[in-house]
Amino acid sequence: MLKTKTIQTSRMTNPAVVSPEGMTMTGHRIVLTGGGTGGHIYPALSVAEHLKDRTDVEAILYIGASGHPEEKLARENGLEFVGLQVSGLPRSLSLKLFTWPFQMFAAIMRAKAVLQAFKPTAVLGTGGYASAPPLAAAGLLKIPTAVHEPDAHPGLVNRLLGKRANLISLGMQGAAGRMSTKLGRISFNGNPVRGTFLTPIQRDAAAAVLGLRSDLKTVLVTGGSQGAKALNEAVVAALPRLLELEPHIQIVHQCGDKNLNDVKERLAPGLEGSPRYHLRAYFDDLSIAYAVSDLAVTRAGAMTVAELAVSGTPAVFIPYPFAAQDHQTHNARYMESQKAATVIMQEDLTGETIYNQISALVNDDGRLAEMRKRMREIGKPDAARNLAEQVLKLSSEYIAAQS
């Protein structure tokens, strides 16, 4: 067994085998877990950024599904990572359904061994099936746990394991009636977002970076980093009429790498290269586009909603209809109920419906201003810091109890 040394960042020699055996437990040793989608990964990474700044945090370890997006993102953010062989519960009758319980049991036992070696003082789960084994193992070892639910409709893992959590953190107020805990408390923190959304550049500077005019109303269309085919097709169909609107508007369209050629082929003659239509496959930093946008037309994933809220960007949501437990529809409808957004269901999405919605909003300054105000009221810029402090409080209580 390797010896551990006290550290102030997330860098460790080998977190799967390191044991602080024999040391006096004084510093925080935090495990983060969650995966599958950005909505489950980025909140954990945002919390990690705040934990790294603390001199009393000895070590941070990310546990997720081996080979899944959380592994790449955790390592890119300087976090040590341990991967588990784990998958989601099959939704149909198949051989995988019968073998899944054995896979999950093995993953829990593997997570338990990792935790016993690492000796965490608290475990934070941010959702997704990858978080189930570490949270379950922490429960077996009597290590305090916190669960963060990013969506308005909680996922299965968080609903089940949240019941025994010491803290439930909510990303959206709409989930409040659907989560309960027998051991701790529930806190509405909002969803942690990346730092670039907390310190955005000014509109003029953002326009200059993207080659836009800062004096024109700007509509951002994005289906996420991968794009959304149905959204792309509807926007392209509406584009000629949208660019004829008076006063003029400009449109920034992130279509996704795999969709770029298809979108270009569908464009009406003369639109590609138009000074008021800017087509991009992907933005490395979408906060720059938000900084110049007056309206966003987008999916309704938890992180998208959080970023829009923090940046105060009104939205037209087109929820992804095949999201787990239809959580995007719940997210979108909640924001609509708060008068911060409007919603078009994908089955109703056409060039005509998207044109009608965009044209109505860009020509109604009063409504846009009210939506912007409502978005900012929902946004929680201190979410990551507050959740990090709450996890450290659990950790401190555990350390004191072990002394």
What are the pLDDT digits (tens) for 378-399?
A: 999 999 999 999 999 999 999 9
Lowest mean pLDDT among 195-199, 203-207, 215-219, 220-224: 195-199
Give the per-residue pLDDT at 380. Answer: 94
Is the predicted pLDDT of residue 164 greater than 50, yes or no? yes
Q: What would the pLDDT profile of 230-254 be if each residue is shown by its tens digit?
A: 999 999 999 999 999 999 999 999 9
Residues 259-300 pLDDT 10s: 899 999 999 888 888 899 999 988 888 999 999 999 999 999
Question: 109 and 239, same structural domain?
Answer: no
Distance set, CA 338 to CA 104, 215, 308, 370 (Å): 39, 29, 14, 11
Higher pLDDT, 92 or 389: 389
Full residue range of the structural domain in which residue 58 is found = 28-192+381-402
399 and 144 in contact (C-beta within 8 Å)? Answer: no
Are 78 and 106 contained in the same domain?
yes
Residue 259 belongs to some domain of the structure: yes
Query: If pLDDT is split at 50, 70 and 90, which confidence band does 199 have?
Result: confident
d(CA 169, CA 387): 7
Does one domain contain both 333 and 223?
yes
pLDDT band at 225 (very low <50, low <70, confident <90, very high): low
CATH number for the domain that contains residue 390: 3.40.50.2000
**Continuous segment of H or E residues that includes residue 110:** helix 95-118
- The region of weakest confidence among 6-15, 85-94, 205-214, 368-377 is 6-15
Query: Which has the higher per-residue pLDDT, 52 or 91?
Result: 52
Residue 373 has pLDDT above 70, yes or no: yes
Closest CA to 62 of 393, 72, 53, 20: 72
pTM: 0.84
pLDDT over 50 at 10, yes or no: no
Considering the domain boundaries, does residue 306 fall inside one?
A: yes
- Given a cut of 60, is residue 12 above it in pLDDT? no
- The candidate with the shortest Cα–Cα distance to 371, out of 358, 386, 361, 382, is 361
Could you tell me if residue 332 is inside a domain?
A: yes
Q: What is the mean pLDDT of residues 364-378?
A: 96
pLDDT, residue 24, reads 53
Domain-embedded: residue 246: yes
Is the model's pLDDT at 6 over the cut of 60? no
Under the banding of pLDDT at 50, 70 and 90, the label for residue 65 is very high
- 221 falls within a domain: yes
Q: How far is CA 323 from CA 39, 243, 254, 308, 377, in A?
A: 12, 32, 20, 19, 26
Of 12-16, 22-26, 125-129, 358-362, the least confident: 12-16
Identify whether the C-beta of residue 280 lies closer than 8 Å to the C-beta of residue 187. no
The two three-digit tokens of residue 115, written as one number: 């935790």
- Please give the residue that has the higher pLDDT: either 12 or 135: 135
Instruction: Decide if pLDDT at 187 tops 90.
Output: yes
Per-residue pLDDT at 220: 97
Phi (first) and psi of residue 67, to 5 degrees: 80, 5
Q: Are residues 237 and 139 in the same domain?
A: no
- H/E stretch holding 193: none
Residue 11 in this model has a pLDDT that exceeds 50: no
Tell me what the mean pLDDT of segment 76-104 comes to.
Answer: 85
Q: Are 330 and 354 in a shared domain?
A: yes
Judgement on whether residues 231 and 178 belong to the same structural domain of the protein = no
Q: What is the pLDDT of residue 76?
A: 93
pLDDT for residue 186 is more than 80: yes
- What is the mean pLDDT of the segment spanning 364-374? 97
Q: Is residue 21 part of a domain?
A: no
pLDDT in the model for residue 282: 86
Same domain, 311 and 210: yes
Same domain, 157 and 61: yes
Overall domain count for the chain:
2
User: Is residue 303, in this structure, part of any structural domain at all?
Assistant: yes
The answer to whether position 14 is within a domain reads no
Angle at 293 between CA 259 and CA 280, to 5 degrees: 20
Q: Are residues 156 and 259 in the same domain?
A: no
Q: Does residue 267 share a domain with residue 178?
A: no
Cα dist. 379→131, 188, 276, 288, 316 in Å?
25, 11, 30, 18, 17
Among 49-53, 202-206, 284-288, 290-294, the range scoring the smallest mean pLDDT is 284-288
Stronger pLDDT, 403 or 278, i.e. the higher one: 278
**What is the per-residue pLDDT across 107-122, written as a single tens digit (0 to 9) for each?**
999 999 999 999 999 9
Q: Is the pLDDT of residue 29 over 50?
A: yes
Same domain, 163 and 32: yes
Is the pLDDT at 23 greater than 70, yes or no?
A: no
**Is the pLDDT confidence value at 228 over 70?**
yes
* 187 & 234 share domain: no
